[in-house]
Copies of this chain bind each other. A is one copy, B any other.
Amino acid sequence: MECIDIAKVISFSREKPRKVGLFRTERCQVDLYYLQPGQSQAPHVHEGIDKVYYIVEGKGSFTIGGEERALGKGEVALAPAKAEHGLENRGPGSLVMLVFVAPPLSEPRR
């Protein structure tokens, strides 16, 4: 059985946001994102891919489809295909997110 305890794969980096791949199938991809205060993911668009963020720890400032919103632990947000999306951890704490993507990104796991 493929299962992972996310508490065991915490992986922050001082230099840049970290992304840890959990699962990848033909149909979807699941990653953990780790952002320290001041780290961000620049706004970008996926043409045919939906992305769902679930905030496990901390809080972040999300911009999706031109709307900005602060989301915290226990909140879940959809960045649908074609909607520009980005986020920033403005602190003070670390930000941990579970990110579901369908279909999987073409890029390799980092």
Contact = CB atoms under 8 A, between A and B. Distances in A.
A48 B1 CA distance: 18
A45 interface: no
Interface in A27-57: 27-28, 30, 48-50, 52, 54, 56
A3 to B, nearest CB: 4
Q: How many copies does the complex hold?
A: 2
Contact of A64 (B1, B25, B62, B102): B1
Interface of A: 1-7, 22-23, 25-28, 30, 48-50, 52, 54, 56, 62, 64-65, 67, 69, 71, 74-78, 80-81, 98, 100, 102-103
26 contacts: A1-B62, A1-B69, A2-B77, A2-B80, A3-B62, A3-B69, A3-B71, A3-B75, A4-B76, A4-B77, A7-B74, A22-B76, A25-B50, A25-B78, A26-B50, A27-B81, A28-B52, A28-B100, A30-B52, A30-B76, A30-B100, A54-B54, A54-B98, A56-B74, A98-B98, A100-B102
